[in-house]
Amino acid sequence: MTSPRSPKPTVSFEFFPPKSPAAEGQLWAAIRALEPLLPEYVSVTYGAGGSTRDATFDTVTRIFSETHLRPAAHLTCVGQSRAEIDDLLGRYWQAGVRHIVALRGDPPAGGDYQPHPEGYANAAELVAGIKRVADFEISVAAYPETHPQANSPQSDLDNLKRKFDSGADRAITQFFFDNQRYLDFLDRAAAAGVVGEIVPGILPVTQFAQMTKFAAMCGASVPDWLEDLFDGLDEDPDTRRLVAAMVTTEQMRSLQASGVNTFHIYTLNRADLTLGICRRLGLKPAKLVGVMAPLSEAMPPVQRDPNFR
């Protein structure tokens, strides 16, 4: 007797803006390959210190105008005044983009975070500021294993609640490999009064050493069993891909069995693994015709805080 199939998941994808012509080609090959899966949205990241602001804007607006995808633009507090952020939000709105991923952000070259003297101090303030400009859909970040700069797990949860209270529509988690940590986090968030969807961020692993560096920076733990699976595969990319597809598919199916069926996949601008994983989970490409029509709604007037200088 076979067990019933899980319902098809809802997915979104994350890309990062290119830094070279070759990287741009790889990005757009990935976008075109994944486009027929028709994800809920695709997000485009924002470099440390706002280093890719223009590249992010160009990528997001091109996705909006040239594909069937609905893009979400990452935006951070780092290195920008409120007026500069308002201006960028206005440009996104005029271009038809309606979804922002609001983050505090990281300073360039590491170091301690220092807010802009005329900017937003944190992501909760940024979310409130975005809502004052226009009624954007807003996603924020969540950390099942606690943000590495948080004073405590509880203070990190309190910060997440402030982001939802300021107007966030959902949170997307940092990647993780132990599903129980995510499920426990959902319980702790609910107990802390967090009301809102917390979508698991899923990272298919191809470069194990690179992933461990990411994990060290964001506070994600790497279990011994995962290290053991990739041990000795540095010169064997084909087997690495097979292992990565297996691990990620099993992780997502296990979450489905726990009632989770919405996922945000960090693609690292590569389509092959994401395509294979989505097919294993029952998602098939659609036949695309034309491009979605752009929105024509005008930008509402910016409501500035009269007490801010």
**What amino acid positions are annotated as catalytic residues?**
14
The DSSP result for 193-243, as a single string, is T--SEEEEEE---S-HHHHHHHHHHHT----HHHHHHHTT-TT-HHHHHHH
Is residue 150 packed enough to be buried (19+ CB in 10 Å), middle (13-18) or exposed (0-12)? Answer: middle
Q: Which residues of 228-261 are buried (b: 16+ CB within 10 A; e: fewer)?
A: ebbeebeeeeeebbebbbebbbebbeebbeeebe
- Distance CA(147)–CA(152), nearest Å, equals 9
Which structure tokens are listed for 205?
């692993």
Q: In whole angstroms, what is the distance from residue 255 CA to residue 265 CA?
A: 14
Q: Alpha helices of 5-81 — where are they, by DSSP H?
A: 21-34, 53-66
Task: Give dist(CA 131, CA 302) in Å, integer.
Answer: 10
Within 35-108, residue ranges assigned H as helices are 53-66, 82-95
State the Cα–Cα distance between residues 101 and 91, nearest whole angstrom. 15
